[in-house]
Chains A and B, each alone.
Chain A
Amino acid sequence: MEKLNTVSSIVTPLDRPNVDTDQIVPKQFLKLVQRTGFGEFLFYDWRFDQNGNQRKEFVLNDPKYSGSHILISGDNFGCGSSREHAAWAIKDYGFDVVIAPSFADIFYNNCFKNGILPISLAKDIVSELMKTVSVVKVDLSSQTIQYDSKSISFEIDQSRKKTLLEGLDDIAITLMHEVKISSFEKTRKI
């Protein structure tokens, strides 16, 4: 997995709550299992009409947000189906950071397995960030976000922070410790 530390870009505001994984990657693409290339299916039914033409009113189709690496949205982002394709699509499209007041549990977990930093912030700060037009800088090692000459901090579990900073995935980390785990298991009294 690629390492992730600082991300500087304008933010893409997707101002609605309860964005569910059915919207992030619609069902017709679940049959595909390659982990790359899913970006083209991201928010498919919102981005394209039934003839495959771009819906101009949808935020991702606004050229001013092209090249953005930070997605910002409402409460309970990533709810619904457990499909990991949702995280694959967000990463592949180019988003490294997702900011929301809250996340659904399985999606939140899936982010760390795929090099995405999910940041949960108070609602009023999220609304303020959504309106920011200048570049926002997210710094994972110092756990800060700088925007409009302000600096705020965010919370993250330290082991997960390390995972992203070092580009490790959970399975690789644990398997590296397999010998230690096995010897611990042997000596442990239950």
Chain B
Amino acid sequence: MNITEKILARASGKSKVAPGDIIFANVDKAMIHDVSGPGVIKVFEKLQKQGIPTEKLWDSSKVWVAEDHFVPSAEKISAENIVKLSKFTKQYGIQKHFKYGMGQYGICHTLSHEEAMVLPGEVYVGGDSHTNTTGALGAFACGLGHTDVAYVLLNGKIWFKVPETLYFKLNGKLPEHMMAKDLILKIIGDIGTEGAAYEAMQFGGSGISEMTVESRLTLCNMTTEAGAKNGIIEPDQKVFDYLGQRGATGYTPVHGDDDAQYAKVYEYEASELEPTIAKPFSPENIAVVRDIAGVELDKSYIGSCTGAKYEDLEAAAKILKGRQVRIRTEILPAAISIYKRAMENGLIKIFLDAGVTVGPPTCGACCGAHMGVLAKDEICISTTNRNFPGRMGHVESQTYLASPLVAAASAVTGKITDPRDL
């Protein structure tokens, strides 16, 4: 069995599972945020009306809550949702509620690794499609709708069909001017936005071993854009060290067997890859950055669970140091812990000196919520994950998806720019 199959077998108490099997898995962790949380509360209310008891969660110590989409509260309704969420966590005794304005908080998928909320070998579900992100720590992680999350909160389990696994092998280390974002855009361009529909996407090979944990998180994060059920990477010493630094102990990692089977294997040579960008209006609509260099931009946005982890900010700072931005540029660290580190290490000063607006952690304009949404006809380069029509604001705005290096280089010139050509 491969790692996805082994985790699902363990979680369902079976010695063996195969792709296509329907299993009932015990869930180790579940997450809701300020959009899915109120949705789940609504489902609870409906169940109460049907006489189904909802007084107790299956295990409130395994449920955690993030505030990220519309925070700091964008207006009255989102403020009320935050109050609703706080009442919910109080009522059910949920301890892990990361509240904005009260120390550590941030985008749910970023907290999932920054706070070691999810551990290798676990089954983790969340009320958000990018829950796939945390599979990079060697967990089975996937997103669910509100009703399914409500079910998990009450019962601690959920059924899955064991997915087929597509294996993506990266040979060799990515060069300095490349980031994991370039690779995942290239892969989505190759297989398409439904290329991995209800399949697992596993990454491996020497290039993945060379990658930092944060880079691996970027890969798994965007498996959602290829339709994948989950993204996953075998955990190694880098992951154990990363989690150890965050106080995590006492977990049992799962590894695939030597004779693990994969539905298909794709191979990439790191030395042959180029900085890659996704043009409007789909993540699969990719181009080599140099091939479309010079496209005029109005804005550069460095934020989100995909593109505002610490190393994403470091990459942007490398480019922005001693330079000035030519277009509106926003940088929103994805969690307070990252913001603090960026401050301590001088990154925030580099950004401010370059003319950038630095914002608080939030999903913000990535989902068109607030904090810098786009006007009609505005063209933005962004380190986020989706560029559907209207995703970041007006339905006639445009978003190009790119790595933090490319987004920062483009901020400096005001045009789409390969970082090597600055």
Contacts and interface: CB of A to CB of B under 8 A. Distances in A.
Interface of B: 13, 35-36, 38-39, 41-43, 46-47, 50, 52, 69-70, 77-78, 81, 127-129, 143-148, 150-151, 154-155, 193-194, 197-198, 227, 229, 282, 367-369, 376, 386, 388-391, 394-395
A85 B77 contact: no
Given A30-B69, A175-B52, A22 B390 contact: yes
Given A26-B390, A84-B145, 8 more contacts: A18-B282, A33-B41, A80-B386, A87-B145, A106-B145, A110-B147, A171-B150, A172-B52
A174 B147 contact: no
A104 interface: yes
A27 interface: yes
A106 B143 contact: yes
Nearest to B129: A82
Contact of B38 (A23, A33, A50, A87): A33
Interface of A: 18, 20, 22-23, 26-28, 30-35, 45-46, 50, 75-76, 79-85, 87, 102, 104-107, 109-110, 113-114, 169-172, 174-175, 188, 190
B389 A23 contact: yes
B229 A84 contact: no
Contacts of A84: 39, 145-147
B220 to A, nearest CB: 16
A109 B78 contact: no
Given A22-B388, A79-B227, A84-B146, A102 B41 contact: no
A149 B281 CA distance: 39
Contacts of A28: 368
Contacts of B143: 82, 106
8 contacts: A23-B390, A30-B70, A33-B39, A33-B41, A81-B367, A82-B128, A106-B143, A109-B144
B42 A50 contact: no
Contact of A174 (B13, B151, B367): B151
A58 B223 CA distance: 31
Contacts of A30: 35, 69-70, 369
A32 B41 CA distance: 12
A106 B229 CA distance: 9
Contacts of B151: 170-171, 174
Nearest to B44: A171
Closest 3 A/B residue pairs (Cβ): A113-B147, A110-B145, A45-B395
Contact of B148 (A46, A81, A109): A109
A82 B127 CA distance: 7
A18 B386 CA distance: 12
A14 to B, nearest CB: 14
A168 B145 CA distance: 17
A188 B13 contact: yes
Q: Decide if the interface of chain B is mainly helix, strand, loop or mixed.
A: loop
B227 A105 contact: yes
Contacts of B386: 20, 22, 80-81
A172 B227 contact: no
A104 B78 contact: no
A102 B199 CA distance: 14
Nearest to B226: A79
A50 B376 contact: yes
Given A22-B391, A35-B42, A84-B39, A106 B144 contact: yes
Contacts of A76: 193-194, 197, 227
A113 B227 contact: no
Contacts of A46: 395
A35 B41 CA distance: 11
A189 to B, nearest CB: 9
A82 B395 contact: no
Contacts of A35: 42, 46
A181 to B, nearest CB: 9
A171 B147 contact: yes
B198 A105 contact: yes
A132 to B, nearest CB: 25
B397 to A, nearest CB: 11
B145 A190 contact: no
Nearest to B76: A31
B147 A169 contact: yes
A76 B39 CA distance: 24
B81 A34 contact: no
Nearest to A189: B13
Contact of B70 (A31, A33, A102, A106): A31
A43 to B, nearest CB: 10
Nearest to B367: A27
Contacts of A172: 47, 50, 52
Contacts of B147: 84, 110, 113-114, 169-171
A104 B198 CA distance: 8
Contact of B35 (A79, A83, A190): A83
